[in-house]
Amino acid sequence: MHGEYKVPGGKLVVVDLEVRDGRIADFHLAGDFFLEPDDALADIDAAVTGLPVETDAAAIAAAVRAALPEGAQLLGFTPDSVGTAVRRALVTAPGWKDFTWEIVHEKAVSPRMNLALDEVLTARVGAGLRNPTLRIWEWNESAVVIGSFQSYRNEVDPEGAARHGYDVVRRISGGGAMMMGAGSIVTYSLYVPASLVAGMTFADSYAFLDDWALQALRSLGVDATYQPLNDIASSKGKIGGAAQKRLAGGGVLHHATMSYDMDGQVMTEVLRIGREKLSDKGTTSAAKRVDPLRSQTGLPREAIIERLKDTFANLYGAQPGRITESEYAEAEALVTSKFATDAWLHRVP
């Protein structure tokens, strides 16, 4: 069995192994990483050989860590990445280039429609009815999008939201609130088969699925890094965050929102805990604009989106795609039955 795992911001970890009598045999680690001393490679191979095939990534990492000689230096990879590569080998997980990818960037629709499209397109990818897809959001009205498990009354000030023209909607993924002002953020969704992240922990999958976006930002001069669990940041503070939802049908929704230019004062008046959110971004004044992408690139929002699309296409061979009429119709029905209802919006009071 063969498995590969590209460490986000690091090196490629490659493993080859056999399975005999329910245990890992003839294990060999390779890759373009750096390791000192040289004979630590044999220590790692010996630590993994003999482990039961059901050993999870964390336990494999612990075995590797325990076997390393004192003072060993691992550069570009970690014991955890070895564990991930082993698990991916055991489940024969595919890589990005094993799929045919599409990029969708279409007309502006309401925030509710964007949320419904996320659910519909994820389900279709999971069912094999659509190619794995990157979709760039466009929307025609401002909204606060709260996480699936957030309390409406604790998170949002309804009077402040109404005063500033923000609708309030709830998405199917967890995480925190997104303030989606017109032209103020960049949001994308990935709809992928569960097999792409097979063998990964949730934490690993977040960084893995956003690594291409960090490469795009770095090409624009942004010192972009990933901060566990789900934040995209730079040396100047937080840029955005990601969220995931895994559907029973085998599809994985991964979406991320990055701030282009946002009014911090409005945030404190619309979100009840706005000051804490701004503090997390390293912003000292609540009235200050939160504009990492605009200030750090000096580019219009549209140019940043084009770089994201170009980077994804160049890395994975993605081609332009479209949302079908039947997908739009299914999403519209889901808006009516779910995303526009008070029962969904107030599912957590």
Q: What is the pLDDT of residue 236?
A: 87
Question: Which residues in the chain land under pLDDT 50?
Answer: 281-287
Q: What is the pLDDT of residue 183?
A: 86
Q: In whole angstroms, how far apart are CA 92 and each of 17, 25, 30?
A: 12, 16, 17
Name the token pair of 244: 């995931």
Q: Given strand 167-170, what is the order of strands in its sheet? A: 167-170, 143-146, 178-180
**Token pair 């069912």 is at which residue?**
127
What is the C-alpha separation between 211 and 214, in angstroms, rounded?
5
The string of pLDDT tens digits covering residues 203-258 is: 889 999 999 999 999 999 999 999 988 999 998 888 999 999 999 999 999 999 99
What are the domain boundaries of the chain?
Answer: 2-90, 96-345
Q: What is the pLDDT of residue 193?
A: 97
Q: What is the pLDDT of residue 274?
A: 53
pTM of this prediction? 0.89
Burial 183-219 (b: 16+ CB within 10 A, else e): ebbbbbbbbbbbbbbbbbbeebbbbbbbbbbbbbbee
Q: Do domains 2-90 and 96-345 have the same CATH topology?
A: no
> 301 burial class (0-12, 13-18, 19+ CB within 10 angstroms)?
middle
Name the CATH superfamily housing domain 2-90. CO dehydrogenase flavoprotein, C-terminal domain (3.30.390.50)
**Contact yes or no for 100/78 (Cβ under 8 A):** no
Q: In whole angstroms, how far apart are CA 72 and each of 11, 38, 69, 159?
A: 17, 9, 6, 58
Neighbours of 27 (CB within 10 A): 21
Chosen CATH of 96-345 out of 3.40.50.970, 1.10.1200.10, 3.20.20.60, 3.30.930.10: 3.30.930.10
Q: What is the pLDDT of residue 128?
A: 97
What is the rounded radius of gyration, in angstroms, for the C-alpha atoms of the chain?
22
Q: What is the pLDDT of residue 289?
A: 55
Q: Report phi then psi at 195, rounded to 5.
A: -65, -25
**Contact yes or no for 305/179 (Cβ under 8 A):** no
Where is 52: in which H helix or E strand?
Answer: none
Q: What is the pLDDT of residue 52?
A: 97
Nearest Cα neighbor of 168 from 207, 135, 141 is: 141
What is the CA angle 88-92-93, rounded to 5? 60
**Contact yes or no for 142/180 (Cβ under 8 A):** yes
